[in-house]
Amino acid sequence: MKSKEEFDSFYEKELKRKIDELEAQRIAITERYSFKQYWKNLMWLGLLFVVLLVARSYVSFIPEQVEYFPVLIGVYAIGAAIYIFFQRAQKFAPVKLDYQKTVITKIISFVDQHLKYDHKAGITSQEFEAGGLFGRYTSFKSEDLVYGTTNGMELRMSDINCTRRKSSSGKNSSSTTVTIFKGFYIISKLNEKIQAGVIIKPSLGISDAFKGLATKFLGGQLVASITEKLSLNDVEVGDPEFDKQYQVKSVNPEVAKELLTPRFIQLIKTFQQEANLPVSLSFFDSNVHIAFSGINLFEADPYTSFVEKNISKQYFNYLNLAYGVVEAIRASR
């Protein structure tokens, strides 16, 4: 695991010049397709309409059709905004790709030279479901795959966004989209096989995940009738702070207690404090699944400065921390 001081030195030597170059391109795109002129045009069009409307009472040759002028203003407001957004996104696409292929690739290699990066690939839905951390979904998107094997440690990491479409019945039926998980997901092989699945999640939102765990071990047809009984399989580890913040579920509580040693509990608590993000973990067979909710690790857009927001350093911090946690978990087993 690299230190922040090491990264700062690496940033100055290997990344700064390229990031400054990309930032200049980003600024040029946002200035060329700027909303400043757009708002000025809307202001002048609105002012022109007011002037013509008032003047029509005194000047006979101004046609009555001036009353339809707001419709034209509305068409311009919508059309011009869409054009600006589209052009910014289109012109920024090659800048983003360059950023991914140069800066992101270098950061990942800096964290570990054995890791590789494919911005088009991602963790599969089957791999995601195997973790049993989240409930049913109807839409799944995964990208920005980081993968590799180093010191016998197999790693797969990517951004994931999955949602579920919920429909309400009745006379005024409607549907809404609910986010099941949006964040950074990691899968790594352990040195040993866990004899029963274990799920560790923040206290809120454990029920859907546990239904997934029960389905995995017991079959979907049984889940509806025995979920209430299975929900008794909560595991308390005896650490008041941890038991308050996290809920642990397992078909076999004894396996969970063997897994959650004081050293491992402290590791999770320390990681939660450093990352300041909701973290969920599960252990199935020989794999550990780790999910960080609420971040899109490798995303760049024309509205966010490469320099002011220090997004490259944010990428390093999250990636390096996640990598270190996997190393620590494997070492603790």
pLDDT of 227 over the 50 cut: no
Check whether 184 has a pLDDT greater than 80.
yes
Closest CA to 287 of 158, 159, 199, 182: 199
Where does the pLDDT of residue 267 fall: very low under 50, low under 70, confident under 90, or very high at 90 and above? confident
pLDDT band, residue 146 (cuts 50/70/90) = very high
| Mean pLDDT, residues 246-274 taken together | 82
* pTM, rounded to two decimals: 0.76
Q: In the chain, pLDDT over 90 holds for what percent of residues?
A: 30
Confidence of residue 98 (pLDDT cuts 50, 70, 90): very high
pLDDT tier, 171 (very low <50, low <70, confident <90, very high otherwise): low
16-30, 156-170, 301-315 — which one is most confidently predicted on average?
Answer: 16-30
Q: What is the pLDDT of residue 49?
A: 84
pLDDT at 304 over 80: yes
pLDDT confidence of residue 214: 43
pLDDT for res 136:
86
Task: Give me the chain's average pLDDT, please.
Answer: 82
Residue 210 has pLDDT above 50, yes or no: no
**Average pLDDT rounded to a whole number, residues 20-41:** 91
Band (pLDDT 50/70/90 cuts) for residue 79 is very high
- Nearest alpha carbon to residue 128 among 177, 186, 201, 213: 186
pLDDT top residue among 136 and 161: 161
